[in-house]
Structure 1
């Protein structure tokens, strides 16, 4: 009956998602503040139609949070579903094959059944909406075995900076037994996997200031410090020839993964050739002594996310810029504290600045790493659900990404999180032409109710 309901309503589910994807809910850009609010309002309507109750659009210091619940029996376990409705900016827009907020469905080699192309298709509107539609299917067919609470926020892409205050303020309202998050992915549509760990994050912005104004590069070049040259040199020194980060104390607290876990990771289906081909490279580059899967999950990183200064317009302008800037992210592994790492970075970066320039380091958002035990009933409920719909036992894998709220939820609410995502690495999240496979969208709606069923049975 439940699967029949899903099958009969799948085209409507998809159209509703398309309508939500048309809303440019870009949390990072204040010009889209009204669109973010519109998205929250539209989502609250959809949740109500699905059968959620006590729906609220809760104000925060920034963009609002959408809450709804369905308490069928206080004695039953409660699943708190988290997702986010805000999206990344679509830039560079000129690299999109279609409008980032004009959803289109196209077939690809990876998604022969079709994929929906739009900003937020995978991250996280498509995956968040799987949860809403799975709930609807359970609720409308009388197959809801647990209480459900929804927290769908509008600031995940800008660091969820107001979420912790809201969680603390409404801790009783948000109490639950487990948190279910669909904001991660699987290895492939043939090989399901469950994310069992996330890296933390320290995000900083740096500025190097030289002369008190832009200078003529002919009259002053060769005699004054060029902030762009200086910044480039400083950044280049942050890693050595072996790919290791040179900040003193950076590795002091790093968890060393056991050989047993490394062997398990090595057994996961992975093709280096396919990995490189998919992103248009012929070779990889990373910390020596570790595989690509290890480099992107259980080892910390440091990457420049953006760098600017001087003249970047059309044609030539011979100028030595007065200042240069960069944004830098550091992905962290268990036992690393993002505030400590941010402080270590700032002290080191200031210490390596040459005479003649001034350096400013501005820490932005961050978050702690998180690991989910694979021997918990929560994980077993998810694993058994995927095994039933995919026909294979999912592979437990740590992810290289960061979802800072996972550690925060555990710290504030004392609840573990199951990361139950269905995206693919090729879905181009945060990039032009982001997309989400129709197979994955529907497979998520089919699988999520089985998690609820299994979890309710295991909690008895």
Structure 2
């Protein structure tokens, strides 16, 4: 059935790659004000590409920040509608000196394409567009498509919630296809069905009105740095469980079926140690590293600042100490509740010799998708037919807030189908996309759309 579309994709590989490179040459760094016009150029490139594919109503829509690209093709009556999501903005390139080649002049080396945004996530966006082109040029698009491409994901998607809330009719669908993601290996595909949420805080402890002489006041005035370190140390118990009151109350337990599915992930504890460069692992007792990083909530210290930290010595008792704390949350946990739990912990344990403040900096909900839905089954089939094996189901330890946003505001799940690899150096120098995997991604997207139509 799909011979013509697959042959078209294979016969146009060189052109597809050239057009991918054109997209990568646009330095769409959303966090830098002097790249604002480049971000818009990337949005216009996508709108032009949608228009060239015959996608109607392809337009660049204004937001208070960077624009959103929307388009739709809804001419397959009785067939599912898929909302295709992606982000066209990229991370800054610092430190530039660590790049082997210009981050915005794509270079092929050893079967990889090196450029900022190659894996995160321009590669998978282009792969889907080329899959759609291959079907349009041969057998026709078998399903209905709507597109939502944003330019602010790398800065927290500040304008996306309002856009979704105010444009629900534009975004009506049965399921979303989120092109953000990775597979485990070039020969082993995977499907992410759960993402953790995030609640990020600053904790500040205040002592004396100013830094004091540690000889005159040490042992007499309670040191805020010491207090903060003791409070942080108490946030985990002997089993490495988080001690904030009520922290685990809304955590869904892992059932036997899901634990068995996660056990199929070939990444072992030894792999985790090698990846992190540590001699031993740590974490909540009773769970594997794979379970802890995807299916259990965690609390981490991201940074501590107090007193004198310059070269040499300065004998001070600091006036204040600050820590940045992130909690990664699983589905059903409420970031607002975590904020209150952290405050309750501080009220219960902070000594009356100091004062303190807890400030929330950012938050996002976690999400879990139905592994047995017809949409997920279509993705499984497409990946198995393309790669000849798998896929492995996995939970991601990171956060993609738009997935929970769509569940809550639009009422449907997302299929996480991207074709990066764990070693692609996303957000780091020398980001790359493995080209053989990218080409398989085009074929997998063709098969996915066909499977949904059956």
Matching residue within 58, 70, 74 for 2:73: 70
Q: Corresponding residue for 1:181? A: 178
Q: Secondary structure at the match of 1:414?
A: coil
Contact residue 76 and residue 142 of structure 2 kept, 8 A: no
Q: TM-score, normalised by structure 1?
A: 0.87
Q: Corresponding residue for 2:291? A: 294
Task: Tell me by how many angstroms 1:170 deviates.
Answer: 1.0
1:158 aligned onto 2:155: yes
| Structure 1 range deviating more: 412-421 or 385-394 | 412-421
CA distance in structure 1 between the aligned counterparts of 2:106 and 2:205, rounded to whole angstroms? 41
Q: Corresponding residue for 1:413? A: 410
1:56 aligned onto 2:59: yes
Q: Corresponding residue for 1:373? A: 370
Contact residue 50 and residue 133 of structure 1 kept, 8 A: no
CA distance in structure 2 between the aligned counterparts of 1:419 and 1:25, rounded to whole angstroms? 23
| Structure 1 range deviating more: 330-339 or 164-173 | 330-339
Describe the shift of the 1:237–1:152 C-alpha distance in structure 2 as closer, same or farther (beyond 3 A).
same
Describe the shift of the 1:214–1:440 C-alpha distance in structure 2 as closer, same or farther (beyond 3 A).
farther
Q: Please, which runs of 5 or more residues in structure 2 have no aligned partner?
A: none
Describe the shift of the 1:230–1:40 C-alpha distance in structure 2 as closer, same or farther (beyond 3 A).
farther
Contact residue 384 and residue 393 of structure 1 kept, 8 A: no
Matching residue within 439, 453, 456 for 2:453: 456
Written as runs of structure 1 = structure 2, the 5 A alignment for 1:283-432 is 283-308=280-305, 315-316=311-312, 318=314, 322-349=319-346, 351-432=348-429
Task: Tell me by how many angstroms 1:293 deviates.
Answer: 1.0
CA distance in structure 2 between the aligned counterparts of 1:101 and 1:227, rounded to whole angstroms? 46
Describe the shift of the 1:210–1:32 C-alpha distance in structure 2 as closer, same or farther (beyond 3 A).
farther
Q: Corresponding residue for 1:236? A: 233
Task: Tell me by how many angstroms 1:93 deviates.
Answer: 4.9
Query: Aligned residues, how many?
Result: 450
Q: Secondary structure at the match of 1:425?
A: coil
Task: Tell me by how many angstroms 1:377 deviates.
Answer: 1.0
CA distance in structure 2 between the aligned counterparts of 1:208 and 1:32, rounded to whole angstroms? 38
CA distance in structure 2 between the aligned counterparts of 1:229 and 1:96, rounded to whole angstroms? 40
Q: Secondary structure at the match of 2:142?
A: coil
Contact residue 161 and residue 365 of structure 1 kept, 8 A: no
| Structure 1 range deviating more: 397-406 or 17-26 | 17-26
Contact residue 159 and residue 366 of structure 1 kept, 8 A: no
Q: Corresponding residue for 1:46? A: 49
Aligned-residue RMSD, C-alpha: 2.8
Written as runs of structure 1 = structure 2, the 5 A alignment for 1:79-158 is 79-93=82-96, 95-107=98-110, 114-158=111-155
Q: Corresponding residue for 1:110? A: none
Contact residue 22 and residue 101 of structure 1 kept, 8 A: yes
Describe the shift of the 1:300–1:23 C-alpha distance in structure 2 as closer, same or farther (beyond 3 A).
same
Q: Secondary structure at the match of 2:43?
A: helix
Q: Corresponding residue for 1:9? A: 12
Task: Tell me by how many angstroms 1:332 deviates.
Answer: 1.2
CA distance in structure 1 between the aligned counterparts of 2:430 and 2:333, rounded to whole angstroms? 34
Contact residue 6 and residue 446 of structure 2 kept, 8 A: no
Contact residue 81 and residue 149 of structure 1 kept, 8 A: yes
Q: TM-score, normalised by structure 2?
A: 0.89
1:447 aligned onto 2:450: no
Q: Secondary structure at the match of 1:426?
A: coil
